[in-house]
Each structure stands twice: as structure tokens, then as C-alpha cells.
Amino acid sequence: MEKNVINTDLSGKTAVVTGAGGVLCSYFAKVLARAGAKVALLDLNEEAAQKFADEIVAEGGVAKAYKCNVLDKDNCYAVAEAVCNDLGPCDILLNGAGGNNPRATTDKEYFENGDIEADTKSFFDLDKSGVEFVFNLNFVGTLLPTQAFARQMVGREGCNILNISSMNAYTPLTKIPAYSGAKAAVSNFTQWLAVHFSKVGIRVNAIAPGFFATKQNAALLFNPDGTPTARTGKILAATPMGRFGDSEKELCGAVLFLLNNDAASFITGVTLPIDGGFSAYSGV
């Protein structure tokens, strides 16, 4: 078990994590449980959420999985009621469900003459429903669970909402216009919510992960012989610290810091980049 780098104690708190069947949020769910929280793992993929809930319980933590579609308001409200009955009112909401879709992604980084006729998916071929899917999942999928769970926070001190933005919210990455715009909207919404809830004891922040090497993206980042791929070369050249982040230590440290009501008690409305300087660097 990794040590809780900043000794955040979440004992007695109820934490809700959406997208908890996924790569990063299953990990965040475990970290919150290890800090003492009772954790509700919400995901469209109930089996995945259940697997990680079982792992938390096997470690001695308190966790329960729920099937939840963050795009269905009634479903979010029904799950919020179930979580409250099972684990108590929500103190922490981590809005983790999100992601991109190939239908909203161009094949090439730069548009060139001839691309309209060529067999390539250019800007002009982006699919409207794919763009809407990505906007909805990241933005509406943050707003609806917040409506459902923040009701339980109102008037109770020390509650927190943590959203997940991205590097592309600052400056869009190539090929993914909808995902970049949607994450910019998540950062903007984080500020809006922080102001809106500032009088009722709810802090609202976000993290913006930079580039992290995980088992899932290893094949994209490293050749079978362990040498870096061309993409890795570009990422590391644009990251002043010259390395990938360590998701277990460096992302979780930021999550625990922002949720810590002693260390971060006067912090609300920020999107914290965890990126080795990527978002600060102009490339020159």
C-alpha cells in the first residue's frame, strides 16, 4: 500500500467517485478508501466498479459499487439516494467519468491541401453525434452528478467536489477538438461552481493531469525494446521536467491535498496542473 503522502484523514467521510471502473478513478477510489473514506464507486460498467469495490473491501476498506449513468439525471438522483442510505450523505464527489471518442478525432495533426478528397478523417468529417457525445460525457456528465450529490452537501461544512480536467483545457492538443473544448468547459465550470457554492461550505477544485505512463498506454509510449516512441519524444521534449508523472504518487498526492480541509481550506476554484511544467512551457 502506498503511503498517504500528505496524511489526509478522511475517516467518517462518504466519498463518491464517478467513472470508478476506469483506470485513474479506480485508483483514486482506492486512495480515498485508504485515507479512511467510505467509498461509493459509480460507473456505467457495473462489473468494473464492483471489481474495484471488492478489492477495496479485501484491503479492509469500506466500498460499494453502483451502476450509474452520469448522463441520466433521474438515475443520478436515484443512486444519490441509495448511496446516502447505504453510506451516509456525500462529503466528497470526485467527478471522474469522462473521455474522448474516435468520432470526434481527426486523423492528422495538420490539415493539408488534398485532405478533403483523400481517405483521411479531416476536420470536415468530424461526426456531429461524436462531438456531442464527448461534450456531454465530460461536461454534462460532471454537472448532473454534481446536482444529485451536492444537495447532500449543502449546509454541512467541509464538503468537496473535485473535477477532472486535462492539459488540453489550457492549450488544445492536436486531433481532439471536442475533448479539448469539453475539458476547457470543465475547468470553467469548476470556477463557476466554486463561486456559486462558496457560502455553503463546499470547496470545488479540479486536477489537470499531464502525461503519465501507465500499463494502459505503455504500448503507445514505448517500443517493445523499451526505447521511447516518436510520441514519447514529443511529450518529453514539451515537459520541462523531462519525464512522465507517477500516477500513483503524484496524481494521488494532488487529489489528497485538494481534499484536505486543513492543508487546502482556502483553496477553491483552481484547476491544478500536475504536469512537470508542460502547461507552463511555450516550447522555446
Ligand X SMILES: NC(=O)c1ccc[n+]([C@@H]2O[C@H](COP(=O)([O-])OP(=O)(O)OC[C@H]3O[C@@H](n4cnc5c(N)ncnc54)[C@H](O)[C@@H]3O)[C@@H](O)[C@H]2O)c1
Which positions lie near ligand X, rule CB under 6 A? 18-19, 21-25, 43-45, 48, 68-71, 96-99, 137, 141, 164, 166, 209, 212
For 280, phi and psi rounded to 5 degrees? -95, -10
Residues whose CB is less than 8 angstroms from the CB of residue 275 and which lie 6 or more positions away in sequence, other chains included: 167, 208, 209, 210, 211, 239, 245
Which runs of E-coded beta strand occur in the chain? 14-18, 38-43, 62-67, 92-95, 159-164, 202-209, 271-274
Residue placing its CB nearer to ligand X in the complex, 10 or 70: 70
Distance in Å, CB of 69 to ligand X, minimum: 5
Distance in Å, CB of 172 to ligand X, minimum: 13
Residue placing its CB nearer to ligand X in the complex, 115 or 256: 256
Distance in Å, CB of 277 to ligand X, minimum: 16
Residue placing its CB nearer to ligand X in the complex, 10 or 251: 251
Residue 66: which of 3, 22, 16, 30 has the closest Cα?
A: 16
Distance in Å, CB of 211 to ligand X, minimum: 7
Q: Which residue has the cell 461509493?
A: 40
Residue placing its CB nearer to ligand X in the complex, 61 or 141: 141
Supply the residues annotated as catalytic. 179
Residue 35: which of 62, 2, 10, 56 has the closest Cα?
A: 10
